[in-house]
Amino acid sequence: MWFKNLRLYQVTEKLNTDQDQLEQALAAFKFTPCTSQEAVKMGFTSPLHPSLKHYCHQTNDVMLFAVKRQEKVLPGSVVNEELAPKIDAMEQEKGRPLSRKEKQALKEELIQSLLPRAFSKSSVTTALYDKQQGWLLVDTSSASRAEELLALLRKAFGSLPAMPLLDNHQLNQQLHFWLQGKELPEGFQLGAEAELKAPDEEGAKVRFINHLLSADEVQSHLQDKLVTKLALEQDEKVTFLICDDGSIKRLKFHDLLSGANEEMGWDDVISRLDADLLLMTDALRHALLPLKANIISQ
């Protein structure tokens, strides 16, 4: 239940919250496994627990979605091993080297023939829609996975006007100030990790881990490099690595926070997951609101 990464979006129009209409819209794009000739398949799946047979879980001001992605795994080494003799045979038959286009066509034909024998790998990406803030928070560090989920939601809803929650240009400026210990979001302090990169073609990069970021050896790099990643901590709440593309990685919730519902136990799994979901949502609001306010105010 506890998210580990975040891609952040501001939804500019309120979503339809009618459960029956939601279920009907999402069911039209529910997950079904890949057929023998399909390389990738995606669709909505139960977001909170498999025992709940619906595609959107709603509780208080929170809506939870999940997209399952299944893909056939064909290692490049296997494809190349099978492809080499086919290329040789074709070149002997034609009496000339094959063009790049011909090799690609041969490779695509081979992949289609191998798909029925390929292993399948599945993953689930979960997204939380906060009705109160109008935020869509996707539990992934991958921009492409987040966009896949958004694209599927748009198909189901007809439209989904969403934009990044954090402005990248302003975020770049703020990361520079934050690393200097200036203008940090309210309630936050620097962590112990940072990455900086030179803006020139060579792109020299330096990374500090478990390091005092106020040290001169770190601060000196601000003269000729941009901050691309920075660890931030919020006392007894959350820690994370914020990146210059607006994503958040290695999101961790303090033990006192994530364990606040332990007395409930797990006899009623759904109630416990529900309680943890609300606890996480509240913690994310307390973390993201000062972060967003700090960036927008600059």
Closest CA to 4 of 272, 258, 289: 258
Taking the C-alpha atoms of residue 219 and residue 211, their distance in angstroms, rounded to an integer, is 12
Mean pLDDT by 10 residues, the chain (298 residues): 94 89 95 88 93 91 95 85 88 89 89 83 95 95 94 94 86 92 92 93 91 94 94 93 95 91 91 94 94 75
Taking the C-alpha atoms of residue 241 and residue 231, their distance in angstroms, rounded to an integer, is 4
How many helices (H) and strands (E) in the chain?
A: 8, 12
Diameter of the chain measured on Cα atoms: 76
What's the confidence (pLDDT) of residue 85? 87
What's the confidence (pLDDT) of residue 258? 87
What's the confidence (pLDDT) of residue 297? 52
What's the confidence (pLDDT) of residue 166? 85
Q: Residue ranges of the alpha helices (H) in the chain?
A: 19-27, 76-94, 100-114, 143-157, 168-179, 216-219, 255-258, 269-296
Taking the C-alpha atoms of residue 27 and residue 31, their distance in angstroms, rounded to an integer, is 9
Q: How is residue 198 written in tokens?
A: 């030179």
What's the confidence (pLDDT) of residue 296? 63
Check: CB of residue 113 under 8 Å from CB of residue 37: no
CA atoms within 13 A on the CB side of 247: 18
